[in-house]
Structures are given as C-alpha cells and as structure tokens.
Amino acid sequence: MTSAESAAAPHGPAAIDAVPLRHPWRWVGAVAILVIAGLFVYGAATNEAYGWDTYLKYLLDERVAEAAWNTLQLTIYAMTIGLVLGVILAVMRLSPNPVFRAVAWGYLWIFRGTPVYVQLVFWGLFPSIYQNIQIGVPFGPSLFHIQLQGLSLAFEMAFIGLGLNEAAYMAEIIRAGIISVPEGQTEASVALGMSWWMTMRRTVLPQAMRVIVPPTGNELISMLKTTSLVTAVPYTLELYTRTRDISAVLFQPIPLLLVAATWYLVITSVLMVGQFYLERYFSRGASRKLTTKQLEALARAQLGDHGGVPA
C-alpha cells in the first residue's frame, strides 16, 4: 500500500451523492383517487334518494339500538358454542382413536357441506319435528319431559344453529393452529417432565394462538353479519330484519339500509380493535423487532452494565 493510499484509508470512501428515484405517477394516481372520492361523497350528500333526514332520525332509534344489542348477543353466544365445540372437534380430529376421528370428520362434512340458511330453517322447524323430548330409562320411567311446540325458542334456536355451524369451521382453525407448532416443542416439554395438559397450556397453545387468533377474529366478524340470516328460524328482532321492517312502513329502504350498515360498521370496528390487541399479545417473541418499551429496557440495562456510562 502506498503512502497516499494509507493516508486516504482512514477517511474511508467518498460519500455517494444518491438521488432518490422520483415517482410522479404515484402522486397523479393519488390525486385522481382523492378527486373521485370527493365527488362521490359530494354526490351522496346532495342526493335526496339517500334520505339523510330519515337516516339521522332512526340511527339512534330505540328499536334499532335494541336490535343491535340482540345481534351482538347472537354473535357472542354463537361464537362461544363454536369455540367450545370447535376445540372438542379439533382434539377428536387429532385423536389416535379412529371412532373419534370418524365422528369429527362426519360432523365437519355435514355442517360445512350444507348452507347455513338451510340449517337455520331446520332449527326453526325443530320444535315441530320434535314436539316432545323425554329422557329416562329405556322401556322404563321418564325422568325428564319437555314440550317444545308450546315454547317460544326462536332466539335460542337461532344462536344454537349458528354456533353448531361455526364449530365446524373453528375446529379446522384450531386444528391448523395446533399442528403448526413443531413436534420438537412437544417432545422437549415431555422430556422436561411436563404432563400432556401442561404441555398444551404452556408450550403448544401459546404458539398455536398466533395462528388461531387472526382467522378466529375474521370468523367473529363474519358471524356478526351472518346473524342477518336468522329470519329463517324465524327470529325477527335482529338488526337487519328490524331496519327492514321499519323501511317497509316508511317506504324508504335506502336510509334504513344505511342505518343498519352504520351499526354493523361500529360493532365490527370495536371487534377489530380487540382482535388487534389479541394478535399483538400472542405475537410476543415471534418477531425480532423490538417495541419502544423493550428498547428502553435494553438501553437501561446497557447503562447499568457500564456503570451509568453509555457504551
């Protein structure tokens, strides 16, 4: 190395004068989209067919709010049934017992292979098919008896029908989450002396939840909108049917459709926020990217190791 080169080496290579690549068409496309969106909003706001006065009048109407609460209850009850039964079916599908596997597969085949609307019609006719239910000793005394035909069970049949249908889909989601965890994780837990339940609770499920939570959140949001099909039971006190009945009296379907859409959007937005925090909770440790709190903790640890002097 010459003296000139050795003298220039400590200074390093010359700075590169980088010029960022310009993308003018991106800005043109963005402006065009904003203009089109603005024109649509202006046109909708000035179009009398939307009936904004009627929309504002019925947006917070007591009947609509009650129907929204009924819709939320249907969603929660149906998803609870779907989750609990889905876990049982997923375990049965993974069981070495061929009978359990066959029963679980048959359940999934029936409930995923037929439309949910058809299933809800069946559950609406259930009190007519099974007018009396008796439980007792075969060829002996009856221990329990109930007459279904005289009862008003539309709400119960609605969320039971939705929940049983949802269980078939949740079973596959949960099964996919469980089998996504490498077998070495389970083997290591067993080698450490963990029981099957402890292995599932502390090793398998925390990792499987990263796969289970996102599609489960989508299923929950989908369930909220699927409740509009419970008219097949028939149950008519949910959000869509209630707004449709009001619009039939007013002869203004568009503003009442907007009312229903607004309530659906509000509830869906709340559910999406909950899904976001659940995903963030269960994704801890899955990414090498540190959060702000983790970076602050790391900086404090480095300061402590060097006696308060940053490295």
Judge whether 69 and 224 are in contact, CB under 8 Å: no
What pLDDT score does 13 carry? 65
Tell me, rounded to whole angstroms, the distance of Cα 36 from its chain centroid.
32
Cis link prior to 96 (omega < 30° from 0)? Answer: no
What value does the mean pLDDT of the chain take?
A: 84
Percent residues over pLDDT 70 in the chain? 86
Domains of the chain: 50-131+145-284 (1.10.3720.10)
- Which range has the worst mean pLDDT, 52-66, 216-230, 295-309? 295-309
Percent of the chain with pLDDT over 90: 47
Query: Does the structure show a pLDDT above 80 at 307?
Result: no
Q: At what angle do helices 62-94 and 205-226 cross, to 10 degrees?
A: 140
Q: Do the beta carbons of residue 246 and residue 70 sit within 8 Å?
A: no
Q: Which helix (H) or strand (E) holds 207?
A: helix 205-226
Burial of 26 (0-12, 13-18, 19+ CB in 10 A): exposed
CA separation for the pair 131, 138 (Å, rounded): 19
Whole-model pTM over 0.95: no
- 30-56 pLDDT, tens per residue? 999 999 999 999 888 888 888 899 999
Q: Give just the sign of the alpha carbon dihedral 247, 250, 253, 256.
A: negative
- Please name the residue that has the structure tokens 């024109």: 39
Tell me the per-residue pLDDT of 161-218, one tens digit each, with 9 for 90 and over. 999 999 999 999 999 998 888 888 888 888 888 887 788 778 888 888 888 888 999 9
